[in-house]
Amino acid sequence: MSSTLETLPDEILMIIFQYSGDVSTILQTFSGLNQRLNRILIDRRLHLLGDYLSIKKHHISSDDYYNSNVFHKVSHQLFIINDTINDDELCQYLQMLMSFHIQQLYKQLGNEFQSNLTAYQVQHLTNNDIIDIDKDLFEIFSNKYY
């Protein structure tokens, strides 16, 4: 019975990959060796592309990322690699992901800003309320520093 990397279950290979360095090192090392390894590298359970963008596995929007056209395109390109990936090609794929991630963060921050602005407008304070809050804050900070 031969014992090779090929005979290991996907889950064991995922664990090995996680200890093999950063995302670009892992992709440069294992991409293109064979279709099975390519499939494992883009598997959501390994979460390599999400780790690159610092997206938590159970983050609410992680499904939005994995279901996006950009992720599908990059995943497909990584899957069909038949040879080792060069630095420029890998950089191009990772830049596509980063650009998409920045756009998503921009949208999210815009939505949060709009939500906070709406909440602030609902909580419109009178002049007397503001004066009372200022006095309370002054007392709190005065007690902290004296």
Polymer length of the chain: 146
**pLDDT, tens digit, 9 for 90 and up, residues 65-81:** 778 898 889 888 888 88
b/e string for 98-132 if b means 16 or more Cβ within 10 A?
Answer: eebbeebeeeeeeeeeeeeeeeeeeeeeeeeeeee
**pLDDT, tens digit, 9 for 90 and up, residues 29-65:** 888 888 899 999 988 878 788 777 777 655 556 677 7
Amino acid type, 2: S
What integer is the mean pLDDT of 19-32?
Answer: 89
**What's the predicted TM-score (pTM) here?**
0.64
The position carrying tokens 């080792």 is 84
Which of the given ranges, 22-26, 62-66, 123-127, has the highest pLDDT on average?
Answer: 22-26
Q: Which two tokens stand for residue 115?
A: 């939500």
The position carrying tokens 């090779």 is 4
Pick the residue with more confidence: 121 or 18? 18
**pLDDT, tens digit, 9 for 90 and up, residues 77-96:** 888 888 888 889 888 988 99
